[in-house]
Amino acid sequence: MKARVHVMLKNGVLDPQGEAVRHALGALGFDGVSGVRQGKVIELDLADGTTEATVKEMCEKLLANTVIESYTIELS
Amino acid sequence: MKAAVIVFPGSNCDRDLKRAFEQAGLGVEMVWHKDTSLPKVDIVGIPGGFSFGDYLRCGAIAAQSPICREVVAHTERGGYAFGVCNGFQVLTETGILPGALLRNANLKYICRTVGLKVETTESVFTKGYGLGDEIGVPIAHHDGNYFADEATLDALEGENRVAFRYTDNPNGSARDIAGILSSNRRVLGMMPHPERAAESAHGNEDGARLFAHLTEVLSDA
């Protein structure tokens, strides 16, 4: 089984990389992009039967820093 | 008086920190990240560098290394610790110090000497300075933008735990914070590198006073 973890900076935490991408899109002529937030996707190959609770523990302990980041988990 | 300096793959200021401790009169033992116990020491130094290539987040993998469990236990026992640059990032990732270090607001890696204002003299690290002294200390980082929520920042200020502020904020840090102390004032984390401004050959000795009082206070501890 697989899990896909999306990690994003929390709302309210400045994302200078997202801002730089937003500026670059504007420079390319894409009007109307009012905000860009950049995060990361972490794909995990897991033993069958791994619970969402275990993946959540991985997120809390290592994959995300919950001081600045939020995360969502997709299992498939 | 003994210090341990932790060495991770990618540490690159470990020997600089060792030398600064030694100049201040401490014996120093280098400790590898895979070690599962600390030697008997008074203070643990976590050096600058790019531990584990800054993969995932700066300091995140180092914070999970076997030796870091011992460093956490050492600070919980009331032991002293000092983290510089990547060492500060490791201290926040372990939860020993609050907050986190984000990418610099201007997205640039910044390597130059910056002005710092001494915000408290109430710690072994800052007692050698005068309150409000302005000193020059080099920075060299890409992720030094200190972040914590407003309540945490208020608590740090209310408890007089901001050790240094930038005189001209280079990286977007909240409230110009360059370094903070733990609640028991025995752990200091800071982005600037005092160990690179600690002897005449460096051309700047403003950082030396940070180390100068370690032996006397540690011998009282």
Q: Give domain A2-75's CATH architecture.
A: 2-Layer Sandwich (3.30)
Task: Out of A9, A62, A67, name the one closest to residue B99 (CB).
Answer: A67
**B1: pLDDT confidence band, cut at 50, 70 and 90?**
confident
Length of chain B: 221
pTM of the full structure: 0.94
> Cβ of B64 and A61 within 8 Å?
yes
Task: Give the pLDDT confidence score for residue B6 in this predicted structure.
Answer: 98
Listed by number, the residues of chain A in 31-50 with a beta carbon closer than 8 Å to a beta carbon of chain B are none
- Smallest CA-to-CA distance from B14 within B90, B111, B92, B72 is with B90
Which tokens go with B5?
Answer: 């300096």
- What would the pLDDT profile of B16-59 be if each residue is shown by its tens digit? 999 999 999 999 999 999 999 999 999 999 999 999 999 999 99
**Statement: B2-220 belongs to CATH 3.40.720.10:** no
| Domain boundaries along the sequence of chain A | 2-75
Task: Return the residue matching tokens 């032996």.
Answer: B215
> Cβ of B60 and A13 within 8 Å?
no
Rounded CA separation B112/B185 (Å) = 28
One-letter amino acid at B168 equals D
Tell me which residues of B are annotated as active site: 85, 193, 195
ipTM for the assembly: 0.88
Can you say whether the dihedral through the CA atoms of B53, B57, B59, B64 is positive or negative?
A: negative
Q: What's the order of all strands across the beta sheet hosting A69-75?
A: A40-45, A2-9, A69-75
Buried b (16+ CB within 10 A) or exposed e, A34-43: eeeeebeebe
- What would the pLDDT profile of A13-44 be if each residue is shown by its tens digit? 989 999 999 999 999 999 999 999 999 999 99
